[in-house]
């Protein structure tokens, strides 16, 4: 429907404006690489905007199917004929496929190309050679995407899928080869997204609210700490200079490097101290003092929301393993939740007052995004224990911005699965739809028996209960390829485990510093971190390591 496309693109316009500010604020500026930098920023904005539009389709999808049923009678509205319903679902499905296709295009082509295009920068290299070099490395990702598409094209549905006499279940098995290929690529992207969702979103859900509750260190304490470290560095410099200031004493190469290292530390600490002093007199500092009580209260509210979400996930996955209609052979799908789900309960009750449930869905999606972003900023872009890039205000390399974009894209795709199957499975599948479970003759009539109007589930009549397109795509993946359903299910347990570990660590972390690594005066954030966490002197390393908010 044109309205769906219009709302999606309106959402993209709003999100793109916010992402432009985000990208510009985090990207480090290079004097001779503005062209590559802005290309990377533009790719970041468009890529994240597309993912947000895909997630924004979920509340629209829920709204469309919910609006087709009269909640007072439990019957389809007169205008919701089968032809109209096919048109609605086909249009929404088409928009989903377009956005998923564009996400795959960015993941396997544009973002890798932008990364290598920046890496190939050389003042003397012609533009054609830069593009050729970037495409040479990008071809590896193109080959991977082509192989995934071919695997999905020739993949047959699982032969061990149990036979269930449900119209809803049978419709999941009816799909063309093109749909199978697209679903397989989406499944692979969600699988990668689960790793990001576990590694960044899980700890981010505790980092974000607890940082708001704890606030930042007092400027006086931070200033005193930096001054003490500065005095210690200057004293060590003085000792070395006095030792080799005598006649006929030649400084060794090792101690020369040590002296240069101490001088660099002194320069960095001096600039950090100057930044703290400037921060004390800034207007922004006064504003932060005023809004600090609101930040504290908001942090507690978000922490409460975090625990409600985690409890909902835990209860749902326990419900799945206990009451699934076919176990792991179809991805632990349940017909009707037996255990109470707080988030699902909130959605169902908010759906009685339009449009509170859709507003809450958008806010929940944004909260997951901000939590993931907090995890990326705190932990950094890393492979196992090797840190590749740090994310910070005005100190993020364009390559780091592109890598963090991939992480955020994949995590939001995994979020789509998590919202649909574990956070609010009932609401995400059928919205606020209900059906009349009382028949008089050959027609349904609950006018005198209102307690027979029941919430829709997969056992409900398919002529009344219409599942959302998003849930159909997810369930089709788990039913036709149970392997993905099994991995996704156990990934939710891993998510809870990492969250519990991250929450304990976040509770005992010290408050953030007010002045982090300085990006002005061309100070490289990674160089500063390496200098201040070096082996000389050990007491400086321990102090800085405990206060460093970039390490998780």
Specify the pLDDT at position 265: 78
Considering only 14-28, 173-187, 290-304, which range has the smallest mean pLDDT?
Answer: 14-28
In the chain, where the domains are located: 2-222+277-547
Q: How far apart are CA 79 and CA 82, in angstroms?
A: 9
299-350 pLDDT tens trace: 899 999 999 999 999 998 888 888 777 766 666 777 677 788 899 888 888 8
Q: Residue 58 to residues 9, 36, 100, 120, 426: CA-CA distances in angstroms? A: 14, 34, 13, 39, 13
Phi then psi for 337, rounded to 5 degrees? -60, 135
Specify the pLDDT at position 7: 52
Q: What average pLDDT does range 156-165 have in this prediction?
A: 53
Q: What average pLDDT does range 232-245 have in this prediction?
A: 74
Phi then psi for 434, rounded to 5 degrees? -135, 165
Contact (Cβ atoms closer than 8 angstroms) between residue 299 and residue 209: yes
Q: What percent of the chain has pLDDT over 70?
A: 72
Q: What average pLDDT does range 106-126 have in this prediction?
A: 78
Q: How far apart are CA 139 and CA 126, in angstroms?
A: 20
429-452 pLDDT tens trace: 888 888 888 777 777 888 777 788
Q: 537 or 335: which carries more pLDDT confidence?
A: 335
What residues contact residue 288 under an 8 Å CB cut-off, 6+ apart? Answer: none
Contact (Cβ atoms closer than 8 angstroms) between residue 371 and residue 201: yes
Specify the pLDDT at position 344: 87
Which of 66-70, 225-229, 532-536 tops mean pLDDT? 66-70
Q: 387 or 362: which carries more pLDDT confidence?
A: 362
Q: Residue 442 to residues 246, 400, 439, 454, 545: CA-CA distances in angstroms? A: 108, 63, 7, 19, 73
Considering only 22-26, 69-73, 221-225, 397-401, which range has the smallest mean pLDDT?
Answer: 22-26
- The strand ranges marked E within 280-414 are 381-383, 386-389
Specify the pLDDT at position 18: 55
Q: 177 or 89: which carries more pLDDT confidence?
A: 89
For residue 159, give the H/E element and its range.
none
DSSP secondary structure string for all residues of 336-347: S--S--HHHHHH
Specify the pLDDT at position 312: 92
Specify the pLDDT at position 514: 57
399-422 pLDDT tens trace: 778 888 888 888 888 888 898 888
Instruction: Assess whether pLDDT exceeds 80 at residue 175.
Output: no
Contact (Cβ atoms closer than 8 angstroms) between residue 343 and residue 349: no
34-90 pLDDT tens trace: 444 677 778 888 887 787 777 778 888 888 888 888 888 888 888 888 888 888 888
Average pLDDT over the chain, rounded to whole?
75
Specify the pLDDT at position 526: 39
**Would the pTM count as exceeding 0.95?**
no
Specify the pLDDT at position 403: 83
Q: 61 or 130: which carries more pLDDT confidence?
A: 61
497-508 pLDDT tens trace: 999 999 998 888
Contact (Cβ atoms closer than 8 angstroms) between residue 102 and residue 390: no
* The two three-digit tokens of residue 325, written as one number: 């209609």
Q: Residue 103's closest CA among 49, 153, 64?
A: 49
Which of 169-178, 243-252, 287-296, 511-520 tops mean pLDDT? 287-296
Instruction: Assess whether pLDDT exceeds 80 at residue 512.
Output: no
Instruction: Assess whether pLDDT exceeds 90 at residue 358.
Output: no
Q: Residue 342 to residues 305, 334, 451, 500: CA-CA distances in angstroms? A: 10, 17, 22, 19
> Which DSSP state fits 396?
B
Burial of residue 439 (number of CB atoms within 10 Å: 0-12, 13-18, 19+): exposed
Contact (Cβ atoms closer than 8 angstroms) between residue 4 and residue 91: yes
What residues contact residue 201 under an 8 Å CB cut-off, 6+ apart? Answer: 368, 371, 372, 375, 411, 414, 415, 495
Instruction: Assess whether pLDDT exceeds 50 at residue 133.
Output: yes
Considering only 6-10, 132-136, 530-534, which range has the smallest mean pLDDT?
Answer: 530-534
Q: 453 or 122: which carries more pLDDT confidence?
A: 453
Q: What average pLDDT does range 291-295 have in this prediction?
A: 82
Q: How far apart are CA 511 and CA 277, in angstroms?
A: 19
Q: Residue 184 to residues 191, 197, 326, 480: CA-CA distances in angstroms? A: 10, 19, 21, 10
Q: How far apart are CA 31 and CA 400, in angstroms?
A: 18
Specify the pLDDT at position 33: 46
* The two three-digit tokens of residue 221, written as one number: 């304490």
DSSP secondary structure string for all residues of 491-506: HHHHHHHHHHHHHHHH
Q: What average pLDDT does range 119-125 have in this prediction?
A: 68
Q: How far apart are CA 66 and CA 85, in angstroms?
A: 12
């Amino acid at each position: 429907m044109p309205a769906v496309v219009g709302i999606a693109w309106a959402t993209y316009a709003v999100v793109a404006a916010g992402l432009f500010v985000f990208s510009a604020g985090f990207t480090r500026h290079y004097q001779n690489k503005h062209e590559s930098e802005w290309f990377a920023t533009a790719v970041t904005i468009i890529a994240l905007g597309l993912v947000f539009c895909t997630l924004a389709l979920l509340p629209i999808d829920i709204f469309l199917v919910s609006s087709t049923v009269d909640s007072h009678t439990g019957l389809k509205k007169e205008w919701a004929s089968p032809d109209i319903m096919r048109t609605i679902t086909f249009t929404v499905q088409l928009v989903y496929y377009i956005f998923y296709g564009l996400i795959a295009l960015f993941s396997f082509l544009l973002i890798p190309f932008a990364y290598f295009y920046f890496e190939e920068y050389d003042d003397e290299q012609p533009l054609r050679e830069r593009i050729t070099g970037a495409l040479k490395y990008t071809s590896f990702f193109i080959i991977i995407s082509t192989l995934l598409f071919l695997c999905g094209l020739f993949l047959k549905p699982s032969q061990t899928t149990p036979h269930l006499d449900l119209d809803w279940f049978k419709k999941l098995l009816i799909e063309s080869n093109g749909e199978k290929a697209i679903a397989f690529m989406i499944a692979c992207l969600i699988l990668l997204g689960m790793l990001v969702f576990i590694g960044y979103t899980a700890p981010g859900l505790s980092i974000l609210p607890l940082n708001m509750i704890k606030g930042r260190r007092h400027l006086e304490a931070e200033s005193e700490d930096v001054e003490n470290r500065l005095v210690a560095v200057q004293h060590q410099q003085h000792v070395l200079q006095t030792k080799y200031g005598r006649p006929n004493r030649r400084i060794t190469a090792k101690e020369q490097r040590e002296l240069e290292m101490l001088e660099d530390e002194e320069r960095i600490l001096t600039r950090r101290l100057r930044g703290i002093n400037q921060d004390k007199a800034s207007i922004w500092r006064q504003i932060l003092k005023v809004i600090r009580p609101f930040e504290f209260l908001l942090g507690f509210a978000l922490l409460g929301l975090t625990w409600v979400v985690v409890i909902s996930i835990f209860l749902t996955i326990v419900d799945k393993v206990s009451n699934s209609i076919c176990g792991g052979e179809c991805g632990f799908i349940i017909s009707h939740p037996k255990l109470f789900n707080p988030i699902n309960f909130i959605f169902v009750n908010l759906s009685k007052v339009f449009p509170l449930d859709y507003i809450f869905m958008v806010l929940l999606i944004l909260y997951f995004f901000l939590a993931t972003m907090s995890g990326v900023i705190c932990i950094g872009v890393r492979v196992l224990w090797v840190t590749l890039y740090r994310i910070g205000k005005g100190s993020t390399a364009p390559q780091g911005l592109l890598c963090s974009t991939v992480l955020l894209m994949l995590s939001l795709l995994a979020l789509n699965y998590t919202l649909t199957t574990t956070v609010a499975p009932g609401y995400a599948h059928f919205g606020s739809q209900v059906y009349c479970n009382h028949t008089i003759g050959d027609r349904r009539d609950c006018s005198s028996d209102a307690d027979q109007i029941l919430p829709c589930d997969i056992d409900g009549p398919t002529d009344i209960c219409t599942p959302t397109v998003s849930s159909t795509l997810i369930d089709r993946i788990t039913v036709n390829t149970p392997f993905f359903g099994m991995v996704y299910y156990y990934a939710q347990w891993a998510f809870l485990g990492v969250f519990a570990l991250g929450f304990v660590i976040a509770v005992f972390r010290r408050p953030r510093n007010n002045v982090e690594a300085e990006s002005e005066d061309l100070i490289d954030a990674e160089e500063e971190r390496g200098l201040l966490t070096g082996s000389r002197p050990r007491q400086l390393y321990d102090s800085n390591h405990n206060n460093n908010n970039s390490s998780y």
